[in-house]
Amino acid sequence: MAVRSCLALWTLAVLSVPAFASNSAWNGMTTPESTKITAFTPYYVPPGAKSYDSTSPLLHYQGTWTESFSSAYVQTSLRTTSEENSAMTFSFTGTGIEWFGNTDNRHGVATVYMDGKMVQEVDLYSAKALKQQRVFWSFNLPQGRHTVKFVNSGKKNQKSKGTRMDVDALVVTLGTPTALSPLGPLAQNLQPSGSVAQWTLVQNGTTGVNAMQLAVISETHALMMDKVEHNPLSISGHPAWGALYNLKTNAVTPLNVQSNSFCAGGTFLSNGTMINVGGNPVVEDSTSAADFGDVDGLQAVRIFEPCDSENVGNCDIYENHARIRMASPRWYNTVMRLQDGSAMIIGGSLKGGWINNSTTNNPTIEFWPPKNIHGSNGMPIHLPFLVDTLSSNLFPITFLLPDGTVFMAANQDAMIYNWETNTEQRLPGIPNGVRVTYPMTGTGLLLPLSPANGYTPEILLCGGSTVDDSQAGYDISSQAPASAQCSRMVLTDDGIAAGWAVEQMPAARTMPDAVLLPDGRVLIVNGAGSGISGYGNVRGQVGASNADNPVLTPVLYDPAAPAGARFSSAGMPSSDIPRMYHSVATLTPSGRVMIAGSNPNLDRSEVRYGTEYRVEWLSPPYMSAERPAIVSAQKKIGFGEKVKMQVRLPSTAGAVVLMDLGYVTHAVHANSRMVYLETAPPAGGGGNTETLDVTGPPNALVYPPGPAFMYVVVNGVPSEGVKVMVGDGKGPKVDDGAWQK
């Protein structure tokens, strides 16, 4: 009997996979507001995980237990004990376990043992009676056989009237199929000792929420935003969908996000405050995400004030939906900082969907704080480019150029937008029919700006797809080959006349991430060799993924090398973790590259390609070289201001670079930027502390005012980055009239 009920539940979990797929992602699953918010029920069985009911014969009970029945319990049954030392023991094979049961004011304290070791005391008391609560969880166990034991400690908290402890169900995380072995020597590309420094890749830390959006906020932390889903990390009694990641200790701190941040964009403003804008409405679907109590995020402006200390306990997201919101709904918008320190918010859909079309398109820009410009009085300004680039035009690739205009690429097209005159200058189309924006996702960068090249802007676009974007989703295949093309153009009159120069990456990629390194080279990681972005739409989905054939080896691109000799994967380790849709990568202050995410799923899943929480750290060879150091530097650097920095250099020649590490999501590295500063290097070198004269960027067009990381680089070896504010640190001008709109 009991065995059958367990099997029945397992079958149910398996059956729900095709059901998710037929929901075609978030299509149509969007209601303007949540209509029936109920008490949050944390019980959730990710596709590919296994649930064991309290009646399963695999659960061994010792002592005195009673059984009760209610439709409110998983499989209608629950086991309860109030007796000290009564226990439940369960052995399983996997990487994680969750324990679900009731909590109320008659519950006591349980002691949990994992593989014979006491790991946690769990207080099961709650003032309100709640069912199917996740009372204990552990997600990062080594793959293999484990035994968990819950013991009634006989203790209780003072408010409680009893010492109850229940078992309703257990959910075992099996571990993604690709997670069978942790990264070993294979992936580390070990060289015989004594050889030159090599790239290394190690897996360390887990993100707790899917790292769909990632931005380094300080020397010690990165901020991650996700969509509302059943993540391992919890806050206020429900799973979190935003968190801070400690880059040094790998500790994760959940954030209290109110609205659904799927799929928002973000930027820092000139005063260091970050905004995260747009998203999705409350989603009501087969995973009951509506129960999370989130609110509609389509017009949300989420504010994250500067948080520079390593103790991030008091840092959180601020939302006030009545007062602080965008003028129009945006799902999949790009956000970019301008020379006046404000944010330009670009494009997106009016509601969640998949491939954009004229019904759902939001072909406009708006500003934060709102501006009264071109007669808009804070309302959206029409951008014809975003109409002409339908359908595959979400998350446009944009960069502020050193003349104050904005480069923009969407679908197969590119233009320069002058936001001060509201005029578009169309550029040559991207060659060979390659589409570069969602869901035919490529990536783009503004190559380093330097006094030596007169701050001449040059754009690099890589990857994407030539798949026809007018086809119905079910006619596109997950096996359709991605593009290997990189296109590069200098944005001067001559450069535009010469057009795009085309190069081929060693491997085709959709959804790649391009990361500027402080040595001026570009690292291209993540992505898939076939298919397109999103989940639950195409023919031949893998699990729910619209893409397949993960590309597991990063490639380095040297923009300064002669054409034909720019790409190299020599000595580059390969990963065994696919990084598909909703993956990210960023340079960190230490100089390492953080790689995280991958979640082509409606909700947490363990079916390939499952929801990936593991973080990888890619270390360029410079990490093990003798490194220069910034001993001390001013926290603020003005435009054209001459400042003195204390540095330690192994040899004399040294460059100082200012970097915006970007706001990374959906292969868009918004604001990513690298600017060489004018320096007067000291004569010394040889490891003594000495003074370096550095001049701030010439103006706000070359580096828009706001936070940056400064690295000193000697012979291609960078120091650790220190955070500086560029400009006067003041906030962008607030136009009261436009704000009241």
- Residues forming a β-bridge with 618: 201, 593
- Residues forming a β-bridge with 425: 416
Q: Binding ligand NAG by CB under 6 A: which of 358, 493, 565, 683?
A: 358
Phi, psi angle pair for 177, to nearest 5°: -55, -30
Interaction between residue 577 and ligand NAG (CB under 6 A): no
Q: Binding ligand NAG by CB under 6 A: which of 103, 176, 213, 273?
A: 273
Query: CA 588 to CA 606: how far, in whole Å?
Result: 29
Interaction between residue 269 and ligand NAG (CB under 6 A): yes
Interaction between residue 624 and ligand NAG (CB under 6 A): no
328, 187, 224, 351: which is closest to 281 by C-alpha?
A: 351
Query: CA 703 to CA 401: how far, in whole Å?
Result: 9
Tell me the H-state helices in 602-642: none
216, 213, 253, 217: which is closest to 233 by C-alpha?
A: 253
Interaction between residue 387 and ligand NAG (CB under 6 A): no
Interaction between residue 355 and ligand NAG (CB under 6 A): yes
Interaction between residue 202 and ligand NAG (CB under 6 A): yes
Q: Binding ligand NAG by CB under 6 A: which of 93, 256, 357, 425?
A: 357
Minimum CB distance to ligand NAG smaller for 249 or for 286: 249
Collapsed DSSP state (helix, strand, coil) of residue 738: helix
Collapsed DSSP state (helix, strand, coil) of residue 291: helix
334, 209, 206: which is closest to 264 by C-alpha?
A: 334
Minimum CB distance to ligand NAG smaller for 158 or for 358: 358
Minimum CB distance to ligand NAG smaller for 85 or for 471: 471
Q: Which stretch binds ligand NAG (CB under 6 A): 89-97, 126-134, 353-361, 620-628?
A: 353-361
Minimum CB distance to ligand NAG smaller for 34 or for 695: 34
Minimum CB distance to ligand NAG smaller for 108 or for 589: 589
Tell me the residue type at 652.
Answer: T
Minimum CB distance to ligand NAG smaller for 439 or for 457: 439
C-beta separation of 139 from 205 below 8 A: no
CB of 408 to ligand NAG, least distance (A): 22
Interaction between residue 533 and ligand NAG (CB under 6 A): no
Tell me the residue type at 466.
Answer: T
619-624-625 Cα angle (round to 5)? 125
Interaction between residue 136 and ligand NAG (CB under 6 A): no
Q: Which stretch binds ligand NAG (CB under 6 A): 441-449, 511-519, 557-565, 730-738?
A: 730-738
Can you give the length of the chain in residues?
741
Interaction between residue 353 and ligand NAG (CB under 6 A): yes
Contact characters 296-315, ligand NAG, x per CB under 6 A: -------x-xx---------
Q: Binding ligand NAG by CB under 6 A: which of 158, 359, 421, 740?
A: 359
First-residue to last-residue Cα distance in the chain? 64
Q: Binding ligand NAG by CB under 6 A: which of 70, 249, 256, 646?
A: 249
CB of 377 to ligand NAG, least distance (A): 17
Minimum CB distance to ligand NAG smaller for 263 or for 269: 269
Please give the size of the binding site for ligand NAG, defined by CB under 6 A.
Answer: 27
408, 389, 388: which is closest to 398 by C-alpha?
A: 408
CB of 98 to ligand NAG, least distance (A): 24
Q: Could you please report the per-residue DSSP string of 108-177? A: -EEEEEETTEEEEEEE-B-SS-EEEEEEEEE--PPSEEEEEEEEE-S---TT-S--BEEE-EEEEE---G
494, 392, 497: which is closest to 438 by C-alpha?
A: 392
Contact characters 472-501, ligand NAG, x per CB under 6 A: -x----------------------------
Other Cβ atoms less than 10 A from the Cβ of 117: the count is 7
735, 479, 523, 724: which is closest to 622 by C-alpha?
A: 523
Interaction between residue 351 and ligand NAG (CB under 6 A): yes
Structure tokens at 628: 């220069």
CB of 438 to ligand NAG, least distance (A): 11
Interaction between residue 688 and ligand NAG (CB under 6 A): no
Minimum CB distance to ligand NAG smaller for 155 or for 539: 539
Structure tokens at 187: 């992936």
CB of 644 to ligand NAG, least distance (A): 27
Interaction between residue 281 and ligand NAG (CB under 6 A): no
Residue 245: burial class (beta carbons within 10 Å; 0-12, 13-18, 19+): buried
Minimum CB distance to ligand NAG smaller for 390 or for 556: 390
Q: Which stretch binds ligand NAG (CB under 6 A): 71-79, 91-99, 355-363, 556-564?
A: 355-363
Minimum CB distance to ligand NAG smaller for 163 or for 361: 361
Tell me the residue type at 140.
Answer: N
CB of 708 to ligand NAG, least distance (A): 16
Q: Binding ligand NAG by CB under 6 A: which of 354, 407, 500, 622?
A: 354
Q: Binding ligand NAG by CB under 6 A: which of 3, 8, 19, 28?
A: 28
Q: Which stretch binds ligand NAG (CB under 6 A): 348-356, 407-415, 570-578, 661-669?
A: 348-356
Q: Which stretch binds ligand NAG (CB under 6 A): 102-110, 243-251, 276-284, 693-701?
A: 243-251
CB of 350 to ligand NAG, least distance (A): 8
Q: Binding ligand NAG by CB under 6 A: which of 369, 554, 620, 707?
A: 369
73-102 burial, b if ≥16 CB within 10 A, otherwise e?
bbbebbbbbbeeebbbebebebbbbbbbbb
CB of 413 to ligand NAG, least distance (A): 18
Interaction between residue 271 and ligand NAG (CB under 6 A): yes
Structure tokens at 141: 């166990």
Q: Could you please report the per-residue DSSP string of 652-703? A: S--EEEEEE--EEETTEEET-EEEEEEEE--S--TT-EEEEEEE--SSTTTS
CB of 436 to ligand NAG, least distance (A): 18
Nearest residue relative to ligand NAG (C-beta): 353
Query: CA 639 to CA 634: how far, in whole Å?
Result: 13
C-beta separation of 628 from 712 below 8 A: yes
- Residues forming a β-bridge with 97: 138, 172
Tell me the residue type at 302.
Answer: R
Phi, psi angle pair for 253, to nearest 5°: -120, 120
Phi, psi angle pair for 498, to nearest 5°: -75, -25
Interaction between residue 201 and ligand NAG (CB under 6 A): no
Structure tokens at 371: 């501006």
Other Cβ atoms less than 10 A from the Cβ of 646: the count is 13
Interaction between residue 27 and ligand NAG (CB under 6 A): yes
Q: Binding ligand NAG by CB under 6 A: which of 160, 253, 360, 541?
A: 360
Other Cβ atoms less than 10 A from the Cβ of 153: the count is 16
Minimum CB distance to ligand NAG smaller for 352 or for 536: 352
Interface ranges with ligand NAG (CB under 6 A): 27-28, 202, 204, 248-250, 269, 271, 273, 303, 305-306, 351-355, 357-360, 369, 473, 731-732, 734
